[in-house]
Amino acid sequence: MKLNALERRCLDAFRSGTDRTPGMEGETTDDWISFGLGLLLHSGSLIRASRLAQKTDMDYKSDGSPVTRLENHIEQELREHLKTFSPGAAVVGEETGGALPSAGVAVAIDPVDGTWAFLSRTETLATVLAVFRDGAPFVGMVGNPATGEIGYAARDVQTRLLQLSVLGEGDVASALPLPRLDSGATLVSVQPGRSTAPVIAKLYEAWQGERVGFVRSPGGSPSWALLEAAKGNYVYVNLWGRRPAYAFDLAAGVLLVRGAGGEVTDMDGVPIDPVGHKGPFIAAVDDAARNEVTALVRSAVSG
């Protein structure tokens, strides 16, 4: 339950106000984890302060979704920080754009995934960061400023969960997945949407028939829900639409689930490509639970 040396170093640097990620030669996986943790700690403090102040400047995008000035500010800070840490790295931002290159290093960010949750002061928002090398994600991070949690993983590195002190209780770190509940019941979290009513009805029917133990639909950040799936108790259902997933959408969360020994699959049980994926997906650490829920979702969608 203790923080490792890298995590402690990043937290100490953040809390002391020293340079978050000084220039590093070689840019190893640990370098990028340090970079990402520094960014998520800094941006999380900005988001938390804005959230607690209950005063946020907002506007609407062309698709009708909200955007805040703070989100643009965080992306611009990332771009500036990369100029000294990794000058050749490309940036793909939810707010400021950019294209994912097929070669070299790129950093994808969604400063506030779940902007409605942020604006309404609920807890299902997240800052999402994914680092790519030659078009493939190799570091992923999801941080929730409301809960004080950060999940991170890297290729061939087990997913870690940091639970930061909010009320003076001390920082805690854990490898994921966490121990499953003693009941062993399958818990299901469904991303809400206009097309999910038949799926939710089918899952509630299964809950009533005791085929699953619990069903909820909290909404907010899909990446945050993927981190919850990586913790080991929830199966996460998302009827992702026809729009291909961008680099900042799912890549970080998928890495977290896979780094916890789980998988994110389509309706046929095939692992998804987190960049460019279209259509529903199901995420879980437990294969049997994911397959059971996939069958329920498939019957609801096909029916």
Using a 10 angstrom Cβ sphere, with 0-12 exposed, 13-18 middle and 19 or more buried, the burial of residue 182 is exposed
Per the structure, the count of domains in the chain is: 2
In this structure, the answer to whether residues 217 and 256 fall within a common structural domain is: yes
Of the three residues 154, 175, 196, the one that is the final residue of a domain is: 175
In this structure, the answer to whether residues 47 and 67 fall within a common structural domain is: yes
In this structure, the answer to whether residues 127 and 150 fall within a common structural domain is: yes
Residue span of the structural domain in which 227 resides: 187-302
- Can you give the pLDDT at residue 90? 96
Token pair 């809400």 is found at: 192
Q: Which CATH number is 24's domain given?
A: 3.30.540.10
- Can you give the pLDDT at residue 244? 96
- Can you give the pLDDT at residue 124? 95
In this structure, the answer to whether residues 291 and 149 fall within a common structural domain is: no
181 falls within a domain: no
Of the three residues 146, 175, 204, the one that is the final residue of a domain is: 175
66 falls within a domain: yes
**Are 19 and 11 in contact, with CB atoms under 8 Å apart?**
no
Instruction: Give 90's strand partners.
Output: 106
- Can you give the pLDDT at residue 302? 80
102 falls within a domain: yes
Average pLDDT by stretches of 10, the chain with 303 residues: 93 85 66 95 94 78 82 93 92 94 96 91 95 96 96 95 93 96 90 94 96 96 98 97 94 98 97 97 97 96 76
In this structure, the answer to whether residues 150 and 271 fall within a common structural domain is: no
Q: Which CATH number is 263's domain given?
A: 3.40.190.80
243 falls within a domain: yes
In this structure, the answer to whether residues 270 and 292 fall within a common structural domain is: yes
In this structure, the answer to whether residues 28 and 141 fall within a common structural domain is: yes
- Can you give the pLDDT at residue 184? 80
In this structure, the answer to whether residues 108 and 253 fall within a common structural domain is: no
255 falls within a domain: yes
In this structure, the answer to whether residues 155 and 252 fall within a common structural domain is: no
Please give the Cα distance from 162 to 121 (Å, whole number). Answer: 22
Of the three residues 145, 175, 205, the one that is the final residue of a domain is: 175
In this structure, the answer to whether residues 167 and 246 fall within a common structural domain is: no
126 falls within a domain: yes
In this structure, the answer to whether residues 208 and 252 fall within a common structural domain is: yes
- Can you give the pLDDT at residue 66? 82
Instruction: Give 187's strand partners.
Output: 214, 234
182 falls within a domain: no
Please give the Cα distance from 43 to 32 (Å, whole number). Answer: 16
252 falls within a domain: yes
- Can you give the pLDDT at residue 58? 77
Main-chain dihedrals φ then ψ at residue 191, nearest 5 degrees = -70, 120
In this structure, the answer to whether residues 289 and 251 fall within a common structural domain is: yes
Token pair 């799936």 is found at: 229
- Can you give the pLDDT at residue 18? 77
